């Protein structure tokens, strides 16, 4: 991957746990930087380019906060194409069908190893970076020049 790719890690607790440190070390080995961001900071951010967001939901409290964030902010950001969400959860969260079809949400169930999560995120980012150059520059309707 060219340069460094940033993945925003949604932080549901005030303190970072040591699992995040290990996870960020594994992500950095593959050229991705994991950036912790609290929910209040995430709500105030404005994105100019598409971002990748990782949400790890392990308990009921984080599920409640995640659903509130999803309802008010994340669904809108995914609809507009500003965010690609990687959801690693022990619970089932129901999303809109359009978001699932557009593949703006990638859902996986916990438990999973750190290397599986890096593989999941890395493959998607690689596909996004390589497929951007293969888009047709003319838009949806091809027009031939008038002679």
- What is the residue extent of each domain of the chain? 5-131
Q: Express each pLDDT in 68-119 by its tens digit.
A: 998 888 888 888 888 999 999 888 887 766 666 677 888 888 888 888 888 9
Determine the pLDDT at residue 79. Answer: 86
CATH class for domain 5-131?
A: alpha beta
Answer whether 92's CB lies under 8 Å from 107's CB. no
Spell out the alpha helix ranges (H) of the chain: 18-29, 39-44, 60-69, 75-79, 97-101, 114-131
**pLDDT tens by residue, 4-62:** 789 999 999 988 888 899 889 998 988 899 999 999 999 998 888 889 999 999 899 99
Q: Tell me if 86 sits within 8 A of 124, measured CB to CB.
A: yes
pLDDT for 53: 94
Q: What per-residue confidence (pLDDT) applies to 19?
A: 84
Residues 6+ apart with CB under 8 A from 23: 9, 34, 114, 117
What is the per-residue pLDDT for 64? 93
The rounded distance, in Å, linking the Cα atoms of 19 and 28 is 14
pTM for the structure as a whole:
0.81
Please, are residues 55 and 10 in contact by the beta-carbon 8 Å criterion?
Answer: yes
The average pLDDT across 62-66 equals: 92
């Amino acid at each position: 991957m060219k340069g460094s790719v940033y993945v925003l890690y949604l932080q549901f607790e005030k303190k970072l746990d040591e699992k995040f440190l290990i996870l960020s070390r594994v992500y950095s080995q593959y050229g991705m930087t994991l950036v912790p961001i609290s929910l209040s900071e995430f709500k105030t951010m404005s994105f100019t380019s598409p971002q990748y967001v990782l949400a790890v939901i392990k308990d009921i409290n984080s599920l409640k906060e995640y659903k509130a964030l999803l309802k008010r902010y994340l669904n809108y950001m995914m609809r507009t194409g500003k965010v690609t969400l990687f959801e690693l959860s022990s619970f089932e969260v129901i999303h809109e069908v359009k978001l699932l079809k557009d593949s703006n949400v990638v859902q996986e169930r916990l438990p999973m190893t750190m290397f599986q999560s890096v593989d999941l995120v890395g493959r998607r980012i690689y596909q996004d970076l390589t497929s951007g150059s293969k888009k047709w520059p003319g838009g949806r309707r091809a027009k031939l020049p008038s002679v």
